[in-house]
Structure 1
Amino acid sequence: MKPPRFHYCAPDMLDEALALLDQYGEDTKILAGGQSLIPLLNMRLAGPQYLIDINHISELNYIEPEDGYLAIGANVRQRQVERSPLVREKHPLLAEVVQHIGHMQIRNRGTIVGSIAHADPAAELPALLTCLNGEVVAQSIHGERVMKAEEFFTGYLSTGLNPGEMLTEVRFPWISPQSGWAFLEFARRSGDYALVGTAAVVTPSLDDHCMSAHIAYLGIAGLPLRVREIESILIGTTLDEQILNQAAELAQTFVSNDMEDVHATVDYRRALTTEITKRVLQAAWTRREH
């Protein structure tokens, strides 16, 4: 299939792209890696009048360590992050998660920010950003706006972006050296969308009890879901078998009844969520520094 007609723009500067976005309004799409947008265009599920290609904007191609977080610009490919020595050394959880995204050909073109902007609840990066309480940076001709992940993801393929705004940066908070982390997902085949996945970070206290915990899921609701109820029952414990079972049983109650499809029933997703919760928390706690 072929996409409907559209006007193509390829600005060289961010200011130019923002001006075009403001001029053409809501009937505009931003093209970076195109791994989600191009199929939607070809299937005519999206039909913008204007397409703004940001691939020539070099100022959006950066991976920069900042105070408190790793900043990634809108033109950074997923494969760049996967191969980055900085990311592998300083943010190994992000490096681990990126390896689970599709196939290498997809990661060669797909961007980190593009995956976040698409807001697919079955995608890995939105769940990771939610788990870490990360941030996104939206820009327009009127200035810059920073949003927390849970503020940004508003529903299925829906975000808190306003008309005239585009995502220019994603910020992944650093994980302390003492913390343990893990990411697990279940897919029928390598490269397929996961049926269920979860990221977890746990931090021990000086007496080796859980001092803080973050856990978020993909594939169980219409948006990436951080479950603070699970986090709260982990605090002050050593994540023994009883606590892990309690967390796992609680996790499956957050699987939405709307998640039944041709790939899995709701009951199957709940069973997967129960098992994957125990495994991810065990793996994260084992990886902690103690």
Structure 2
Amino acid sequence: MIPVPFDYLRPATLAEAVAALGSAEEGKLLAGGQSLLPVLRLRLAAPTLLVDLGAVPGLRGVQLSGADLVIGAMTTHAEVAASDLVREHAPLLAAAAATVGDRQVRHRGTLGGSLAHADPAADLPAVAAALDAVCVVAGPSGRRSIPAADFAVDLFTTALAPDEVLVEVRLPSTAGWAVHYEKFHRTAQSWAIVGVAAAVRRDNGGIGAARVALTNVGPVPHRARGVEEALAGAPATAEAIATACAGAAEGTDPVDDLTASARYRRELARVLSTRAVCRALGVRAD
């Protein structure tokens, strides 16, 4: 299909992008375009203005800032996955980014675009929530920070104001943590039916702390706090991990759709959480 008519602007500065969004009747940002363009073609979105961020400087790259890893919102999935800094300080994000879509999508799609699109089946929003990431956004009044766990507020809806731009993602370092991203999907390029992001810190042979977040078990990423509390202090055994992950679906709100029932997704939440933690720790699951 053909999108509805819209104006197109490629600003040279962040301030111009923010101003353009503020003046538009219905403005949309174009980052990598891997999610937006199909939506436009299906006429599920009808913006009056498309603001292309491709020429705005300072929105791409990876760097350390004190104890935080800072990733520009326009950094592609492929760049995130290949970055030595990300692999060292946020290995879970690097592992998950390497699984997004296919090679073409990973070289065009961006970290910020994925978070701002807020698709409940997307891989990276749950990973950002698990890693206690902070989303830094810019608007007419300056910059503000939004915890990744609060960034998605509903289906395809974020805490961004209509005239705000996600500029960077800040993550506290998890260097040395054991990590794994586990997802179940029908084909290699399809969306996750359920995904689990797990990061575990070892302590004296057991589990000192854990962070677990789930993809596609509700309208927004689900941080499995109950699982995290049960894992903390537990021995690093398959039995203990399975017991701790038994309640992974608690608090979730999955839907019935053409790919899976809500009941099946809840069962996947339990199974994949157990598998993700076991694989992160190198424990053979029963």
TM range (shorter): over 0.9
SS in 2 for 1:252: coil
Q: Verify: 1:124 aligned to 2:123, yes or no.
A: yes
Matches within 5 A, 1:209-248: 209-248=206-245
Q: Which residue of 2 aligns with 1:196?
A: 194
Query: Where in structure 2 are there 5+ consecutive unaligned residues?
Result: none
CA contact (8 A) 1:35 1:109 kept: yes
Aligned residues: 283
Which amino acid in the other structure matches residue 78 of structure 2?
A: R
2:58 counterpart SS class: helix
Query: Where do 4+ consecutive residues of structure 1 move more than 4 Å?
Result: none
% identity of equivalent residues:
35
Distance 1:279 1:2 in 2: 43
Contact 1:72 1:113 in 2 (8 A): no
Q: Would you say the 8 A contact 1:220–1:254 is kept in 2?
A: no
Could you tell me which runs of 5 or more consecutive residues in structure 1 were left unpaired when the two chains were aligned. Answer: none
Q: Partners in 2 of 1:64 and 1:96 — Cα distance?
A: 18
State whether structure 2 residue 141 is matched by structure 1 residue 145: no
Where does residue 47 of structure 1 map in the other structure? 46
Q: What is the alpha-carbon distance in structure 2 between the residues aligned to residue 85 and residue 221 of structure 1?
A: 33
Please list, as runs of the form range in 1=range in 2, the aligned pairs for 1:13-24 lying within 5 A after superposition. Answer: 13-24=13-24
Deviations 1:161-217 (A, max 9, x none): 12311111112321132x211111011110110111101111123x33322111000
Contact kept in structure 1, 2:92 and 2:198, CA below 8 Å: no
Aligned equivalents of 2:126, 2:92: Cα separation in 1: 12
TM-score scaled by length of structure 2: 0.93
> Which residue of 2 is the match for residue 263 of structure 1?
259
Secondary structure of 2:107's counterpart equals helix
- Aligned ranges 1:278-289 → 2 under 5 Å: 278-286=274-282
Q: CA RMSD in A?
A: 1.6
Equivalent residues of 2:91, 2:175 under 8 A apart: no
Match of residue 7 from structure 1? 7
Please report how far the alpha carbon of residue 255 of structure 1 lies from its aligned counterpart in structure 2 after TM superposition: 4.1
Alignment of 1:151-190 (within 5 A): 151-177=150-176, 179-190=177-188
- Specify the code of the residue in structure 2 equivalent to 1:182: H
Greater shift after overlay, 108-117 or 52-61?
52-61
Larger displacement relative to structure 2 (262-271 or 119-128): 262-271
Q: Does 1:272 align with 2:271?
A: no
Name the counterpart of 2:103. Answer: 104
